[in-house]
Structure 1
């Protein structure tokens, strides 16, 4: 029996914090030279573009993906920065996505409430299935899936009765309910175990497990997107404040020089602490993604030798795809941790470069 004992924190599907990015500049060694300033600005622009490209490629919300691509393709030189700024394109797209998701949830919940497995069996079962799905699955169901299910019910198309489920498969689902690779997978397995019929166990293997796996990675990607924007905004604000403090120190003379030097050092160190904390968060994300990739590798290895009536070849393929997705997330987290390590070191160096000025 495969046992995925990785414990994962619950990730929010719709993050509550509203975050963005200011157009601050990254720290350069003090005092900055003209050439260094150009390089720092180029580094910042490249990082922002990386962030928007990731949103365009990986964000689970089509509204965010579309808006991110528009920013990337724009001819305006500040389109990417404005997209990530407070009140910019990202926040607008996120709000649209939340509104659309709420509408879809309402339609699906009303469908469940107004149908039964006797009166409209296909509509009812597909609506329940969609209610636990990803944002994309819910959107597809509202756009086309509901009508398709209604048409099938109108033709009195029967639902095929599930075969008796093997005890080995029931034990497998019970194990996932306790030790599954992510919170959504565990929740899906727990529902199947609690309901307990052959149809519920069959539904888990055929639909719910796959959908829950996608929900886990969807939640992770949305969470790290918010984390990344929040950290960048805070760091850039502190970097601007530190540069201003250093300029004040450089322009000060006499008895006030020592105080100005201390204030500049403190400002740079504060920014460095934020960078170090952000690096630690990305290192935690590394561990989470690595554990998920390992867990899905174990699912794949189990599936290729399993012999019960489930579609194990299909499960093996899905496990391989999901494992690859988590391996990609691991690589992204590792790169972010590297970048924030570099930022923490550069910012701390700015603090130590300011000499201790003796008080007069």
Structure 2
């Protein structure tokens, strides 16, 4: 039996593993923390009673949208990255916190009396991933915890991920985004297929979102528009300033103002798609910081200004899928080589819709 930790309190929360003290950050990533157990390149799904050996092993990685984006930013060389999420007061929670700190991140973990969330990813060779996720501590991040981290870090960019899957944050998203706007933060929101209440409150918060990232399935679910460009246009009309719809091997759609672009994807050998959208978000944030784009000049984006943003985001997402794990391959060497070798071709084949 695991020994009782010192400092436990009655109720859901346990000890504060981070003593808050003002430490400015350029980016605060908020959202889910999960432990990913990934079995890549499996020959087949087992039948009842079968034993299937994993030819490339079974890997344990820190995961969840906030963790993935923050780690990817750190690996791309960004300093001053903070990350907030909820974990259990258990051995996997210890693993998550240690891995995040090992990557040089400012970690704001909310420790709870429920298990750290786990996600089993089975990848059958030649097929899309199968996810078996446990909804536990990752869904219970509280608005107060995020607001406290926001006040302590006072970032230039707030990335709020996992919207649709955070039971307490989803209903208070407008409160968090309003405070971020008051502080002058550029806000980026990333959505997932909704759980429980769904996206009802997200629609109310769209005017507070500077950048919205979603995939094609999510953009259709949000708007009823099957065409990604039409969906992005609808989201702009509802208040989003820049809409980015990623489409996997089919590239992406970017929309702002009256501009609609369709970029093809970078060509890579795919191993594991886990975390590709998170890597894309990290690449976009990295380029925003590099190019000096903030919420004050977002409406005046030019093609020359948005080009490095979209190429770096797309290249980071493409690099991600070349190795097992959500962040393993999101490193400057791989991202920069993709841009150097394919960037101009990708941009030349970009369509203005």
Confirm or deny a common fold (TM above 0.5).
no
Structure with greater contact order relative to length (CA < 8 Å, sep ≥ 6)? 1
Q: Hey, which of these two has a bigger chunk of helix by percent?
A: 1
TM-score normalised per structure 2:
0.23
TM-score normalised per structure 1:
0.23
Q: Hey, which of these two has a bigger chunk of strand by percent?
A: 2
